[in-house]
Amino acid sequence: MDEEPIKPASFSRGRKWAMAFNVVVSSLALLAILVMGNYLASRHYWRFQVDSAKVTISPLTKRILNSLTNHVKVIIYFDPVGDREMFNAVKTLLKEYELNCPKIDLEYIDFTQPGRAELVREKYKFAVSAKGSRVIFDYKDRTRTVMSSELSEFQLSGEGFRRSAFKGEQLFTSAIASVVEPRRAKICFLTGHGEHDIQSEEDSGGYSKFAKVLAENDIECSVLENLATRDIPLDCQVLIVAGPTQVFLPQEVARVDQYLSRGGRVFILLNYASVQTRGRLGFDSLFSAWNLDVGLNYVRDIDEAKAQQADIVVASHFGAHAIVKPLLNSSLALIVPRTVGQRSTLAGTDSPKVSELISTSKSGFIYSSSKNPAGSEKHGSLPLAAAVEKGSIQGVSADRGVGRMVVVGDSYFLSNRLLDSLSNYDFGLLAVDWLLNRDVMLSEIPPHAVKDYKFNITEHQMQIFRWIFLLVVPGLVLITGFGVWVRRRY
């Protein structure tokens, strides 16, 4: 039997080494191409979005980001599960900031988890609840905080209040611009008339928490004494008169009026204590000139009184002003407020433009004696706070030549005791931001509309969907798997 001839080896030793060399060289070449491609892509890239919720930032935001010379730390301090919708919107927008500017350093912190969240709370010393979602902007130890509750505008629809706009870019860009500004905003708290003390830790009347909130937002707070013998400083951007109980001298009121006439900003908070003691405090002529009607009275609300505390009005009716638009789905807690509203309707470009901010329900009522609240004088929806500006077109951002004033019929709602209640903190900060003209971004960065997608289906159609997902989809998977098994088996 003939033996089969021995076949020569398919590859010689030299050919094997040549193939190995080719494989190594090809791999190195491919690796080099990948490295060079990634290097070029990191510097010259083109980004595009495939979802319908396209996120873009305005030219003004890009200009501010491009002007940064140092890094800005941005901390997204959120509950990503409990506040998922807002967290996703904030994260997407700030990611766009980071991609457009390498000097934006983003950090995500789930405040429900221990560790890093506790360190952040300790470092920034939150003046209000640490469980509130917020975005912190930190630039050379100057900080500005934007609360989650400030980021939305609401509208009343047939199904109640719904989010209509997202103000993220407006507030974030404004925050970055304010922390990198060399000069800090300055607010003066007037003293000498029984006002609340910003250094007092007292629960019911102290304002130390509110002062800390302002400091968190890169605002310098100082005390202004003896207005009778000195003018309001030129660097005072907002004068706050918080809960006075003693009458102002005519020269003091004249100085406040002069300050407003040259574009000053004033935040006046009144309370029931001044009604009991000194009455109108000497501001009658000033309020009248600014078209405001401030009542010498007390207000209660049957339908919106806090349980077991009839003196606390839980106000949830807001106007259409920029200060309260983010609060349309929330409430404020006010202690026996006074009425503050528009005196009359005046025509003319230069006449004061009054916007009523807060009001009671239709069950509100006025009484003039604290000893006889049953003897009411007026029922109905009653205004409790108003914003007024003079020398501008209403609704358009005002420059520093325009006087602005906010008057609220209660001052205790910003005290240490109530600042954390409901949306008191938000209102106080929104009012200060408006007075400081931090809404300057309104003209160039409008809020982004929030789109709703609704599907109307009948009960019969809903039943069909249930059967499809419960039987049809799992059945198709089982049938496909069975077919594959049969094919392999036979």
Which of 42-56, 272-286, 363-377 bottoms out in mean pLDDT, i.e. has the lowest?
Answer: 42-56
Amino acid in the structure at residue 157 = S
Write down the pLDDT at residue 341: 95
Q: Which domain holds residue 97?
A: 59-151
Rounded to whole angstroms, the Cα distance separating 267 from 221 reads 14
Query: Please, are residues 107 and 94 in contact by the beta-carbon 8 Å criterion?
Result: no
Sheet strands side by side (includes 152-157) = 152-157, 160-166, 448-449
Q: How would DSSP label each residue in 145-207?
A: EEEGGGSEEEEEETTEEEEEEE-HHHHHHHHHHHHHSSSPEEEEEE-SSSPPPTT---TTT--
Model confidence at 201, pLDDT cuts 50, 70, 90, reads very high
Residue 471 is assigned to a structural domain of this protein: no
Residue 53 is assigned to a structural domain of this protein: no
Model confidence at 453, pLDDT cuts 50, 70, 90, reads very low
Q: How many CA atoms lie within 13 A of 405 on its CB side?
A: 29
Is 67 in the same domain as 135? Answer: yes
Residue 194 is assigned to a structural domain of this protein: yes
Domain finish residue from 151, 176, 211: 151
Is 394 in the same domain as 335? Answer: yes
CA angle 356, 359, 130 (to 5 degrees): 100
Give the pLDDT mean for 319-329. 87
Domain finish residue from 403, 427, 442: 442
Residue 47 is assigned to a structural domain of this protein: no
Tokens describing residue 35: 């490295």
Give the pLDDT mean for 425-444. 80
Is 383 in the same domain as 267? Answer: yes
Tokens describing residue 179: 């922390």
Q: What is the pLDDT of residues 412-421, one digit of tens each?
A: 999 999 998 8
Rounded to whole angstroms, the Cα distance separating 446 from 451 reads 15
Residue 26 is assigned to a structural domain of this protein: no
Is 137 in the same domain as 201? Answer: no
- If one counts the domains in the chain, the total is 2
Is 98 in the same domain as 198? Answer: no
Q: What is the pLDDT of residues 155-164, one digit of tens each?
A: 766 656 677 7
H or E segment and range at residue 23:
helix 13-43
Sheet strands side by side (includes 142-147) = 104-110, 72-78, 134-139, 142-147
For residue 224, pLDDT beyond 90: yes
Which of 16-20, 326-330, 380-384 bottoms out in mean pLDDT, i.e. has the lowest?
Answer: 16-20
Amino acid in the structure at residue 219 = I
Q: Which residues contact 255 (CB under 8 A, 6 or more apart)?
A: 227, 231, 232
Mean pLDDT over each residue of the chain, to the nearest integer: 84
Nearest to 259 by CA among 220, 225, 227: 227
Q: What is the CATH number of the domain that holds 288?
A: 3.40.50.880
Model confidence at 397, pLDDT cuts 50, 70, 90, reads very low
For residue 403, pLDDT beyond 70: yes
Rounded to whole angstroms, the Cα distance separating 467 from 13 reads 66
How far does Cα 82 stand from its chain's mean position? Answer: 17
Is 340 in the same domain as 298? Answer: yes
Residue 34 is assigned to a structural domain of this protein: no
Q: Which residues contact 397 (CB under 8 A, 6 or more apart)?
A: 437, 439, 440, 442, 443
Task: Say which residue the tokens 């606390």 belong to.
Answer: 312
Residue 328 is assigned to a structural domain of this protein: yes
Residue 12 is assigned to a structural domain of this protein: no
Q: Which residues contact 156 (CB under 8 A, 6 or more apart)?
A: 328
Is 268 in the same domain as 348? Answer: yes
For residue 377, pLDDT beyond 70: no
Rounded to whole angstroms, the Cα distance separating 323 from 359 reads 14
Q: What is the pLDDT of residues 299-309, one digit of tens each?
A: 999 888 887 78
Is 123 in the same domain as 197? Answer: no
Q: What is the CA radius of gyration of the chain?
A: 32
Query: Please, are residues 394 and 352 in contact by the beta-carbon 8 Å criterion?
Result: no
Is 305 in the same domain as 362? Answer: yes
Give the pLDDT mean for 461-477. 80
Is 122 in the same domain as 203? Answer: no
For residue 128, pLDDT beyond 90: no
For residue 26, pLDDT beyond 50: yes
Give the pLDDT mean for 168-196. 91
CA angle 61, 65, 67 (to 5 degrees): 120
Write down the pLDDT at residue 228: 86
Is 410 in the same domain as 326? Answer: yes
Q: Is 317 helix (H, G, I), strand (E, B) or coil?
A: strand
Query: Please, are residues 299 and 364 in contact by the beta-carbon 8 Å criterion?
Result: yes
Rounded to whole angstroms, the Cα distance separating 371 from 276 reads 11
For residue 216, pLDDT beyond 50: yes
Is 243 in the same domain as 117? Answer: no
For residue 399, pLDDT beyond 60: no
Tokens describing residue 390: 């003079």
Domain finish residue from 151, 174, 203: 151
Nearest to 269 by CA among 412, 435, 369: 412
Model confidence at 255, pLDDT cuts 50, 70, 90, reads very high
